[in-house]
Protein backbone atom coordinates (compact mmCIF):
# COMPACT_ATOMS: atom_id res chain seq x y z
CA UNK A 1 0.00 0.00 0.00
CA UNK A 2 1.32 3.40 -0.97
CA UNK A 3 1.51 5.85 1.92
CA UNK A 4 0.25 9.36 1.08
CA UNK A 5 2.98 12.01 1.07
CA UNK A 6 0.87 14.20 3.36
CA UNK A 7 0.89 11.45 6.01
CA UNK A 8 4.68 11.11 5.72
CA UNK A 9 5.12 14.86 6.24
CA UNK A 10 2.79 14.84 9.24
CA UNK A 11 4.72 11.93 10.78
CA UNK A 12 8.08 13.66 10.25
CA UNK A 13 6.72 16.88 11.75
CA UNK A 14 5.43 15.01 14.79
CA UNK A 15 8.83 13.37 15.30
CA UNK A 16 10.62 16.72 15.05
CA UNK A 17 8.24 18.26 17.58
CA UNK A 18 8.62 15.31 19.95
CA UNK A 19 12.42 15.52 19.81
CA UNK A 20 12.30 19.26 20.45
CA UNK A 21 10.05 18.81 23.46
CA UNK A 22 12.31 16.05 24.82
CA UNK A 23 15.32 18.35 25.24
CA UNK A 24 16.88 18.85 28.66
CA UNK A 25 15.61 21.75 30.79
CA UNK A 26 17.74 24.87 30.79
CA UNK A 27 20.10 25.15 33.77
CA UNK A 28 19.06 27.62 36.45
CA UNK A 29 22.35 27.56 38.37
CA UNK A 30 26.05 26.97 37.63
CA UNK A 31 25.78 23.22 38.07
CA UNK A 32 23.53 20.55 39.57
CA UNK A 33 25.60 17.41 40.25
CA UNK A 34 23.64 14.15 40.11
CA UNK A 35 23.54 12.07 43.29
CA UNK A 36 22.72 8.39 43.67
CA UNK A 37 21.40 8.48 47.21
CA UNK A 38 18.24 10.58 47.33
CA UNK A 39 18.60 10.94 51.11
CA UNK A 40 21.63 13.18 50.50
CA UNK A 41 20.03 15.25 47.75
CA UNK A 42 19.20 18.76 48.91
CA UNK A 43 19.35 20.85 45.73
CA UNK A 44 17.21 21.01 42.60
CA UNK A 45 17.67 22.84 39.30
CA UNK A 46 16.12 26.05 40.55
CA UNK A 47 14.12 26.29 43.77
CA UNK A 48 11.68 24.02 45.56
CA UNK A 49 8.07 25.17 45.19
CA UNK A 50 5.72 25.92 48.06
CA UNK A 51 2.15 24.71 48.00
CA UNK A 52 0.37 27.09 45.56
CA UNK A 53 -2.42 27.45 48.12
CA UNK A 54 0.13 29.00 50.50
CA UNK A 55 1.31 31.67 48.02
CA UNK A 56 0.73 35.30 48.95
CA UNK A 57 1.21 38.71 47.34
CA UNK A 58 4.55 39.22 49.10
CA UNK A 59 5.96 36.27 47.13
CA UNK A 60 5.67 38.38 43.99
CA UNK A 61 6.78 41.74 45.38
CA UNK A 62 10.01 43.71 45.86
CA UNK A 63 10.53 47.30 46.94
CA UNK A 64 13.64 49.43 46.62
CA UNK A 65 14.62 49.90 42.99
CA UNK A 66 13.98 53.62 43.40
CA UNK A 67 17.11 53.74 45.58
CA UNK A 68 20.49 54.27 43.92
CA UNK A 69 23.18 51.72 44.68
CA UNK A 70 26.57 52.81 45.97
CA UNK A 71 29.18 53.31 43.24
CA UNK A 72 32.13 53.82 45.59
CA UNK A 73 34.17 50.90 44.25
CA UNK A 74 36.93 50.20 41.74
CA UNK A 75 34.59 50.08 38.71
CA UNK A 76 32.38 52.98 39.87
CA UNK A 77 29.12 51.13 39.29
CA UNK A 78 26.57 49.09 41.20
CA UNK A 79 24.14 46.38 40.10
CA UNK A 80 21.02 45.85 42.21
CA UNK A 81 19.65 42.43 41.34
CA UNK A 82 16.01 41.38 41.62
CA UNK A 83 15.88 37.68 40.84
CA UNK A 84 14.35 34.59 42.41
CA UNK A 85 16.35 35.18 45.59
CA UNK A 86 14.55 38.50 46.11
CA UNK A 87 11.17 37.54 44.62
CA UNK A 88 10.40 33.85 45.27
CA UNK A 89 7.44 34.04 42.88
CA UNK A 90 9.89 34.31 39.97
CA UNK A 91 10.71 30.62 40.36
CA UNK A 92 10.17 28.81 37.01
CA UNK A 93 9.05 32.04 35.26
CA UNK A 94 12.30 32.64 33.38
CA UNK A 95 12.71 36.36 34.04
CA UNK A 96 14.51 38.77 36.39
CA UNK A 97 15.48 42.43 36.63
CA UNK A 98 18.43 44.63 37.60
CA UNK A 99 19.05 48.29 38.26
CA UNK A 100 22.50 49.56 37.29
CA UNK A 101 23.95 52.79 38.68
CA UNK A 102 27.07 54.34 37.17
CA UNK A 103 29.20 57.14 38.59
CA UNK A 104 30.68 59.53 36.02
CA UNK A 105 33.06 57.45 33.87
CA UNK A 106 32.07 54.32 35.77
CA UNK A 107 31.53 51.03 34.00
CA UNK A 108 29.86 47.66 34.24
CA UNK A 109 33.01 45.84 33.07
CA UNK A 110 33.11 43.10 30.42
CA UNK A 111 31.05 40.16 31.63
CA UNK A 112 28.64 37.51 30.43
CA UNK A 113 25.38 35.98 31.62
CA UNK A 114 25.58 32.22 31.00
CA UNK A 115 21.84 31.70 31.29
CA UNK A 116 20.15 34.82 29.92
CA UNK A 117 19.70 37.37 27.20
CA UNK A 118 19.62 40.92 28.56
CA UNK A 119 17.57 43.89 27.35
CA UNK A 120 18.67 47.24 28.80
CA UNK A 121 16.94 50.60 28.81
CA UNK A 122 18.79 53.78 29.78
CA UNK A 123 16.88 56.13 32.07
CA UNK A 124 19.50 58.78 32.92
CA UNK A 125 22.88 59.78 31.50
CA UNK A 126 24.85 58.61 28.48
CA UNK A 127 26.28 55.13 28.06
CA UNK A 128 28.60 53.49 25.57
CA UNK A 129 27.54 49.84 25.43
CA UNK A 130 28.42 46.81 23.37
CA UNK A 131 28.91 43.08 23.04
CA UNK A 132 31.38 40.88 21.18
CA UNK A 133 30.19 37.96 19.09
CA UNK A 134 31.65 34.44 19.24
CA UNK A 135 34.82 33.12 17.58
CA UNK A 136 32.67 31.66 14.79
CA UNK A 137 31.55 35.21 13.97
CA UNK A 138 35.11 36.55 14.12
CA UNK A 139 34.58 38.31 17.47
CA UNK A 140 32.82 41.31 16.00
CA UNK A 141 32.06 44.26 18.28
CA UNK A 142 28.48 45.58 18.24
CA UNK A 143 28.40 48.92 20.08
CA UNK A 144 26.25 52.02 20.42
CA UNK A 145 26.05 55.23 22.42
CA UNK A 146 22.79 55.28 24.37
CA UNK A 147 20.76 58.26 25.51
CA UNK A 148 17.76 58.23 27.87
CA UNK A 149 14.99 56.07 26.42
CA UNK A 150 17.33 54.03 24.22
CA UNK A 151 17.26 50.23 24.41
CA UNK A 152 20.01 47.71 23.66
CA UNK A 153 20.03 43.90 23.67
CA UNK A 154 22.90 41.66 24.78
CA UNK A 155 22.38 38.10 23.43
CA UNK A 156 22.75 35.19 25.83
CA UNK A 157 26.35 34.20 26.58
CA UNK A 158 27.94 37.15 24.76
CA UNK A 159 30.63 39.18 26.55
CA UNK A 160 29.25 42.70 26.99
CA UNK A 161 29.84 45.95 28.84
CA UNK A 162 28.47 49.41 29.62
CA UNK A 163 30.49 52.57 30.26
CA UNK A 164 29.21 55.94 31.48
CA UNK A 165 30.85 58.41 29.10
CA UNK A 166 29.12 61.41 30.67
CA UNK A 167 30.09 63.78 33.45
CA UNK A 168 26.94 62.99 35.46
CA UNK A 169 25.63 59.74 37.00
CA UNK A 170 23.75 57.30 34.78
CA UNK A 171 20.95 54.86 35.58
CA UNK A 172 19.73 51.88 33.57
CA UNK A 173 17.30 49.02 34.10
CA UNK A 174 17.64 45.64 32.43
CA UNK A 175 15.48 42.56 32.09
CA UNK A 176 17.06 39.10 31.87
CA UNK A 177 15.53 35.94 30.47
CA UNK A 178 16.24 33.76 33.50
CA UNK A 179 15.17 33.70 37.13
CA UNK A 180 18.91 33.37 37.90
CA UNK A 181 20.94 34.70 34.97
CA UNK A 182 24.34 34.29 36.59
CA UNK A 183 27.24 36.64 35.90
CA UNK A 184 30.84 35.97 34.95
CA UNK A 185 32.98 39.11 35.13
CA UNK A 186 35.89 38.38 32.82
CA UNK A 187 38.75 40.05 34.72
CA UNK A 188 37.60 38.80 38.13
CA UNK A 189 37.13 35.28 36.81
CA UNK A 190 40.40 34.98 34.92
CA UNK A 191 42.69 36.82 37.32
CA UNK A 192 40.81 36.28 40.59
CA UNK A 193 39.91 32.60 40.54
CA UNK A 194 40.30 30.36 43.60
CA UNK A 195 42.83 28.81 43.44
CA UNK A 196 44.63 31.08 40.94
CA UNK A 197 45.24 29.94 37.37
CA UNK A 198 48.92 29.26 36.73
CA UNK A 199 50.44 32.64 35.68
CA UNK A 200 52.41 30.97 32.88
CA UNK A 201 49.17 29.80 31.28
CA UNK A 202 47.64 33.28 31.38
CA UNK A 203 50.88 34.90 30.22
CA UNK A 204 50.83 32.79 27.08
CA UNK A 205 47.08 33.18 26.54
CA UNK A 206 47.13 36.98 26.84
CA UNK A 207 50.65 37.42 25.42
CA UNK A 208 51.81 39.20 28.58
CA UNK A 209 54.93 39.07 30.69
CA UNK A 210 54.39 36.59 33.52
CA UNK A 211 55.16 39.31 36.10
CA UNK A 212 52.31 41.42 34.70
CA UNK A 213 49.98 38.45 35.17
CA UNK A 214 51.18 37.95 38.74
CA UNK A 215 50.49 41.63 39.45
CA UNK A 216 46.99 41.33 37.98
CA UNK A 217 46.27 38.21 40.04
CA UNK A 218 47.37 40.06 43.16
CA UNK A 219 44.95 42.91 42.37
CA UNK A 220 42.01 40.62 41.67
CA UNK A 221 42.68 38.10 44.45
CA UNK A 222 39.45 37.27 46.26
Where is the binding site for Mn(2+), in residues?
Answer: 111, 113, 118, 160
Identify the three-state secondary structure at position 65.
Answer: coil
CA–CA distance from 75 to each of 35, 56, 97, 98, 163 (Å)?
Answer: 40, 38, 21, 17, 10
Buried b (16+ CB within 10 A) or exposed e, 12-30: eeeeeeeeeeeeeeeebee
- Rounded Cα distance between 109 and 218, Å, is 18
Return all residues near 91 (Cβ < 8 A) that are at least 6 apart.
46, 47, 49, 84, 179
Cα four-point dihedral sign 213, 214, 217, 218: negative
H or E element: which one contains 174?
strand 170-176
Annotated binding site for oxalate: 108, 113, 118
- Rounded Cα distance between 113 and 178, Å, is 10
Buried b (16+ CB within 10 A) or exposed e, 63-100: eeeeeebebeeebbbbebbbbbeebbbbbeeeebbbbb
Annotated binding site: 108, 111, 113, 118, 160
Identify the three-state secondary structure at position 136.
Answer: helix
Structure letter (DSSP) for residue 164: E
Amino acid sequence: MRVPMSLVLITISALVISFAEASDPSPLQDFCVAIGDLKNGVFVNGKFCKDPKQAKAEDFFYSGLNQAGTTNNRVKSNVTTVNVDQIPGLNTLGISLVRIDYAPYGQNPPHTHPRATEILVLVEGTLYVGFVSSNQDNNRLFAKVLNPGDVFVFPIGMIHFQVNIGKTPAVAFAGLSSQNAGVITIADTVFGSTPPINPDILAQAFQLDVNVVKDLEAKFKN
